[in-house]
């Protein structure tokens, strides 16, 4: 990928430590560069930081490459699943292993640029969740159509209003995220996080981020197996959420304004959304 690496201009530093969770399944051609770029970038945002790669039963050298990093760099940690358990399970393992005041996750396939953290960081102190949305999604048309249908379904079934629910570039308050009882093994994890955080009155900001075509490795997010599983998980989560009682609210979350917990989330859908293009021209 011909993404040059100009020095970052001055950025907002995070008011605390940061853990970056990278779910990785067969990312041998990408993982080294992602870890390298993350190691170069995170110190710009936090004095204390860790990179947690969750190798979800990869059949290539992903785990071996990350183990090499972990052996030589104290900021890199490897969490391994002996067999492939799915995207949601991998993220959940990474969150549980994390210790940061803030936790973010990003796909490990180089479709995002870790330096876009500078677009999210200014909101970290004020919001519990800063969720990226892909300004121009670099995926095939059928993926974008399906994603739009999914966004609408999630809005209807869970009352979750995000511009791009599955965008894999999000920043959270660590204690909020680690306190959520997450169970979705697959792609529905993003919906589960938002639906449960919403019940706790979490404050949400949305920010546009860049998205790039996958240039190496194989995308599995649009496979029939993943899509069918997501539909099944959607129905199961909807059923479970009918009886879901959130854990004791963490102190900083705003309490829901009514019993059902609706209306408490602050969505900057449109208003308050940072026009990232103005801040960081596409390279
Ligand atoms: N842990 C885990 N990660 C996965 C799995 N499938 C894909 N990934 C990772 O999730 C991210 C996104 O996957 P990708 O196939 O590119 O999905 P897409 O971007 O939606 O097409 C990448 O970092 C993959 O390595 C899986 O079964 N388990
Ligand atoms: Mg991808």
Q: Confirm whether 8 is domain-assigned.
A: no
Give the Cα separation of 279 and 264 in Å (integer): 29
pLDDT at 11: 81
| Residue minimizing CA distance to atom 14 of ligand 1 | 219
pTM of the model as a whole = 0.85
Q: Confirm whether 282 is domain-assigned.
A: no
pLDDT at 265: 36
Is residue 109 in contact with ligand 1, taking CB distance under 6 Å?
yes
Question: Closest ligand 1 atom to the C-alpha of 56?
Answer: 1
Question: Average per-residue pLDDT in the chain?
Answer: 85
What pLDDT, in 10s, does the model give residues 93-121? 999 999 999 999 999 999 999 999 999 99
Question: Closest ligand 1 atom to the C-alpha of 166?
Answer: 20
Q: Which domain holds residue 241?
A: 18-275
Q: Which pair of tokens denotes residue 208?
A: 């546009």
Q: Confirm whether 281 is domain-assigned.
A: no
| Residue minimizing CA distance to atom 8 of ligand 1 | 25
Q: How far is the CA of 111 from the centre of ligand 2 (A)?
A: 6
> Residue 224: what are its φ and ψ, rounded to 5°?
-55, -35
Q: How far is the CA of 136 from the centre of ligand 1 (A)?
A: 19
Closest C-alpha among 72, 61, 69, 83 to residue 20: 69
Q: Confirm whether 153 is domain-assigned.
A: yes
Is residue 108 in contact with ligand 1, taking CB distance under 6 Å?
yes
Residues less than 5 Å from ion ligand 2, measured at CB: 109, 111
Return the CATH number at 183.
3.90.550.10
What pLDDT, in 10s, does the model give residues 177-220? 999 999 999 889 999 999 999 999 999 999 999 999 888 888 87
- Count: domains in the chain: 1
Closest C-alpha among 141, 144, 135 to residue 112: 135
Is residue 84 in contact with ligand 1, taking CB distance under 6 Å?
yes
Give the list of residues 6+ apart from residue 177 with CB closer than 8 angstroms, or none: 95, 98, 103, 193, 197
Is residue 25 in contact with ligand 1, taking CB distance under 6 Å?
yes
Q: Confirm whether 3 is domain-assigned.
A: no
Q: Confirm whether 22 is domain-assigned.
A: yes
Q: Confirm whether 67 is domain-assigned.
A: yes
Q: Confirm whether 201 is domain-assigned.
A: yes
């Amino acid at each position: 990928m011909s993404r040059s690496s100009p020095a970052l201009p001055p950025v907002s530093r995070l008011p605390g430590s940061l853990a970056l969770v990278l779910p990785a399944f067969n990312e041998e051609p990408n993982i080294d560069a992602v870890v390298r770029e993350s190691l170069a970038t995170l110190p710009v945002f936090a004095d204390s930081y860790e990179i947690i790669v969750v190798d979800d039963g990869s059949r290539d050298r992903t785990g071996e490459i990350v183990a090499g990093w972990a052996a030589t760099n104290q900021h890199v940690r490897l969490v391994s699943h002996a067999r492939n358990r799915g995207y949601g399970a991998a993220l959940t393992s990474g969150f549980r292993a994390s210790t940061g005041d803030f936790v973010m996750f990003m796909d490990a396939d180089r479709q995002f640029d870790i330096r876009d953290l500078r677009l999210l960081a200014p909101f970290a102190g004020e919001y519990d969740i800063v969720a990226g949305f892909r300004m121009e999604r670099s995926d095939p048309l059928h993926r974008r159509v399906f994603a739009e249908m999914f966004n609408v379904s999630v809005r209807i079934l869970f009352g979750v209003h995000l511009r791009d629910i599955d965008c894999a570039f999000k920043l959270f308050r660590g204690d909020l995220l680690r306190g959520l009882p997450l169970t979705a093994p697959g792609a529905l994890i993003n919906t589960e996080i938002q639906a449960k955080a919403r019940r706790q009155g979490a404050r949400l900001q949305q920010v546009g981020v860049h998205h790039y075509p996958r240039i190496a490795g194989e995308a599995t997010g649009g496979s029939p197996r993943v899509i069918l599983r997501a539909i099944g998980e959607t129905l199961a989560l909807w059923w479970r959420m009918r009886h879901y009682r959130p854990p004791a609210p963490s102190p900083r979350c705003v309490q829901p304004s009514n019993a059902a917990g609706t209306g408490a989330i602050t969505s900057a859908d449109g208003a308050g959304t940072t026009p990232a293009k103005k801040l960081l021209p596409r390279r």
